Amino acid sequence: MNNITIKNNVSLARDLTSGAVINTNDSLYQKRLNEIKALEQQKIKDDQFDSEFNALKDDVNEIKTLLKTLLASNE
C-alpha cells in the first residue's frame, strides 16, 4: 500500500495511487459501522411502527363508518 499519514491526524492516511483518504483507526471504523447498523435497525422499526399505525387508523375509520351506518339504520 502506498499510503502517507495525514498531518495532524494519525487516524487518517492518503492513498497515493487513488488520492483517497483512508481511516486507519479500526476501532473508530467499527464504531461507525455499528452506528450505521443501528440507524438501519431504527429505520426498520420506524417503518413497522408507521405500518401498524396506518393499519390502526384504517381500523378506526372502518369502525366509524360501521357506527354511522348502524346509527343511520336505527333512525
> What digits encode the pLDDT tens for the residues 10-21?
889 999 999 999
Work out how many domains the chain is built from and give that number.
1
Q: Where are the beta strands (DSSP E) in 1-75?
A: 3-6, 9-15, 21-23
Q: Is the pTM of this model over 0.75?
A: no
> What digits encode the pLDDT tens for the residues 1-59?
688 888 888 889 999 999 999 988 999 889 999 999 999 999 999 999 999 999 999 99
For 14-22, which contacts have Cβ atoms below 8 Å and span 24 or more sequence positions?
none
Q: How far apart are CA 11 and CA 21, in angstroms?
A: 10
Give the domain extent around 36. 3-74
